[in-house]
Each structure stands twice: as structure tokens, then as C-alpha cells.
A = this chain, B = another copy of it.
Amino acid sequence: MLKIRSIKKMQLLLEVARQEKKRIGFVPTMGSLHEGHQSLLRKSKKDNDLSILSIFVNPKQFFANEDFALYPRDEKKDEILAKKEKVDIILYPSIKEMYPDGYKTYVDVEQLSNVLCGESRSGHFRGVATVVAKLLNIVCPDKLYLGQKDAQQAVIIKQMVNDLNFPSKIEVMPTVRENDGLAMSSRNSYLSMKHREEVPVLFKSLKLAKYKILKGETSAGQIIRQIRSNITQNTSGRIDYIECVNAETLQPLRTLTGRVLIAVAVWFGRARLIDNIILRIR
């Protein structure tokens, strides 16, 4: 397993690989790897000749009072997991090389970036789209692997890749969960014991919503109210949002029809957890 810190070196190496017609799979992460990332790495290894992992805690997607400084980092543990998933190259770009003095260019995906998580984390998805555009140009993968847990991120990156004609394909892999249903996330490490016991309610409330919808409920308002009461009655979490939106446009729905994304974001102490399900209705 190669570890590369220089962007230039990475580009030269992969240029050679491409001329040898090697298929390149790419999993961009902020490190602090868990089983969700492992499922992406496994798929990347299975589908490609070269499996590349990047680990970069991207300052441009955090702001002033967010958890950039506190975001968990553990290179040693990450490398053990990467080796286990037979990663060929880990790219660790430096902040200085990614955003040198005088950096000025940003990628905006309009309409999709200011809803859901974008509403409370203004500018977050601009930072995400920008760093992924950069990484796609550095790695030029045949395939990019993303997790369904970050549903909005996946929709935005798909839109950017199509709109800007990046030659990479995108595969979105299912959310990986703990036994009690909690979606795997690096930020779960922020949870207190008490909150850790409460948080499985998020996925339970989404599953209950799915059940109601399968039973015939078509009102987004009803579903949202039900999830809200479920979370407020059974946890001490502070709700950021609960929304039912079109899974492609991310626009809010009143009547549940087509591909529907039901997404929640809830604060537990300093951990802001997100979860979602996608349903195809009728």
C-alpha cells in the first residue's frame, strides 16, 4: 500500500496507470474510517484494478463555529482498515497544497446546495463540490464511490459530475448501520453514553414512516409530524430538520409520490447526526 502526500506525484503515477489501461476506483474521505467507508473500499477494490483512498479533512466545508479542529483524525487506525480492504494507494493531500495562498476557485451547484443540510450549514456544499472537483482532477477515476448516508452530498456530486462532464461514473452504496440501526458516522464518537442510547430512535422513526407510507399515507406533513413526535418523545435531541423531498431535485413535497427522500438532522450534544431513507412510491 503506497502512501502519497504530493498531488503532483499522484497525478504522474496515475497517468502511467491509465496508459496501462488500469481501471481506477476512488473513495474520497475525511478519514476516521468506519464500516461505511469499508463497504465503499471493498466495492472499489472489487470493481477496479487500482483502488485509491483519499484522506483529507477539508477546511472549506466547515465554518467558524463548526468542528473542523475537533474532527476525529487517526492515521494509524485508518491505515489498518485501508490495508484490510486492500487499498492500493492512500492520498493524504496537505491543506497547503490543496489551498495555496491566493486560492480563488469554487464550484457551486445551485438549488441543491441551500436546502436540507445546506440551510443550516451555509456554504458547506460549496466546499464539498469544490474539493471533490479537485480530487476528481487529481485522481481521474473511472469510478467514484459515495455513501447513501450523506444523501444530499451524493445528489450534489452526481449533478456536478454530469453538469461539468467529468468522465467518472458514480456509485452510491447503502448506508451501513450498527446492530441497533444507528448509521455509521465518524461523528458518532462525539456521543455521550446517554445520547448513544437514544440515537437508534432516528432510524426507527424513519422505518415507522416507511411502514405508514406503505400502508397508504401520502401526506408529507403527516409523516413529518409523526417522525417529530417520535424523536421528541423518545430522545433529548434537538431537531435541525425533518423533510420529505424529491430524491433528485431535493425540493419539498406535500404529497408523497415518485422517488422520495425522507431525511432528518438532529443534534445530540455537540454531535449533529443525519440519517435518511429513499422510497419509490407508486
Contact = CB atoms under 8 A, between A and B. Distances in A.
Interface of A: 7, 11, 15, 18-19, 21, 102-112, 129-130, 133-134, 137-138, 140, 159-160, 163-167, 249
Contact of A164 (B15, B111, B133): B133
- The count of identical subunits is 2
B104 A106 contact: no
B165 A138 contact: yes
Nearest to A137: B165
A105 B159 contact: yes
Contacts of A130: 164
Contact of A104 (B21, B104, B111, B167): B111
Nearest to A165: B137
A160 B108 contact: no
Contacts of A102: 249
A164 B105 contact: yes
A114 to B, nearest CB: 11
Nearest to A106: B108
Nearest to A163: B105
A103 B160 CA distance: 9
24 contacts: A11-B165, A15-B167, A18-B18, A19-B19, A19-B21, A103-B163, A104-B109, A104-B111, A105-B107, A105-B108, A105-B110, A105-B129, A105-B164, A106-B107, A106-B108, A106-B110, A107-B164, A130-B164, A134-B163, A134-B164, A134-B165, A137-B164, A137-B166, A140-B167
Nearest to A7: B165
Contacts of A138: 165
Contacts of A106: 107-108, 110
Contact of A105 (B7, B18, B105, B109): B109
A103 B166 CA distance: 14
A111 B159 CA distance: 26
Given A18-B18, A19-B21, A167 B137 contact: yes
Nearest to A8: B165
Contacts of A111: 104
A190 to B, nearest CB: 32
Nearest to A20: B19
Nearest to A135: B165
Contacts of A103: 163
Contacts of A19: 18-19, 21
A169 to B, nearest CB: 12
A106 to B, nearest CB: 5
